[in-house]
Amino acid sequence: MRGCVLVCVVALLSGCAAGGGSIKSLERSIADLRALQSEQTDALNSLDSQLRTLAGRVEELEFAQNKRIGSEVSALREDLSTLKRLVPPPAAVPVPELEADEAWASNLPAEQAQLFADSLAFIREGKFSDAIPGLKEVSGALGGSPKGDKPLFWLGVANDGLAHTSEARALYFEISQKYPKSNRAPTSLYRLALLLARTGDKKTAVLSLRSLIEKYPKSPEASMAKEKIKELK
């Protein structure tokens, strides 16, 4: 732009010198050039402003589109999760406890809640080996917290489902001792008794059932324990 103006000025000077034009004529010409340059500058500034506005609009549209897509993906994931919950889990999985703890997972911090929910999803599908790492991580994070009974219980169920008898037995017993006030304690004692009976240790199984009846006489498991004792005798 400046080069163009300079050429014009030189041309005008040459014309004035050759034709004997006045200084005033030259000044008017320079003023006209300045006005033209100002108009062009204004036009460029207006164009730049329009480009910035357009870029901002494009960003808004991209954000809205991404937000819409993200919302749709979240909805699809929720639908998939709902469908999976309709599939009955393996016989080794206690359904009432599973459904209760799927809802209870939201009581945990966000990261642990997601990990626990994912682990329960594996339990529901019978993928016990896949569930164990997440359950161990959540259990370790909760430590001696009163909420630690839930992941520990499902670790027992996962090992039970894998026929890891020693590990399952130890975990069920640990819950009954470490979390005696937990609603998973009577369930653990009952499952411990069933496991012992399956492995041929009926005597210890009966002792576990009697302990359950004594400690949790009003629990649903106590009624089941009385019937189970009759079977084992």
SS3 of 98, please?
helix
**pTM of the predicted model over 0.75:** no
The mean per-residue pLDDT over the stretch 115-136 comes to 97
Instruction: State the pLDDT at residue 75.
Output: 64
How many other C-beta atoms are found inside a 10 Å radius of the C-beta of residue 84? Answer: 12
Residue 180 has phi, psi (to 5 degrees) of: -65, -25
The amino acid that residue 10 corresponds to is V
Which pLDDT band, with edges at 50, 70 and 90, does 66 fall under?
A: confident
As a residue count, the chain comes to: 233
How many other C-beta atoms are found inside a 10 Å radius of the C-beta of residue 11? Answer: 11
Task: Report the distance separating Cα 164 and Cα 171, nearest Å.
Answer: 11
Residue 170 has pLDDT above 90, yes or no: yes
Instruction: State the pLDDT at residue 46.
Output: 82
Residue 6 has pLDDT above 70, yes or no: no
**Degrees, nearest 5: CA angle 75-81-83:** 105
The answer for residues whose C-beta is within 8 angstroms of residue 121's C-beta and 6 or more apart is 81, 84
Instruction: State the pLDDT at residue 189.
Output: 97
**pLDDT, averaged across the chain:** 85
Let me know: does 204 contact 196? Beta carbons within 8 Å.
yes
Task: Report the distance separating Cα 37 and Cα 97, nearest Å.
Answer: 80
Report which of 200, 32, 44, 182 is spatially closest to residue 101, judged by C-alpha positions.
182
Instruction: State the pLDDT at residue 70.
Output: 66
The region of weakest confidence among 15-29, 61-75, 128-142, 190-204 is 15-29
Q: Which residue has the higher pLDDT, 54 or 155?
A: 155
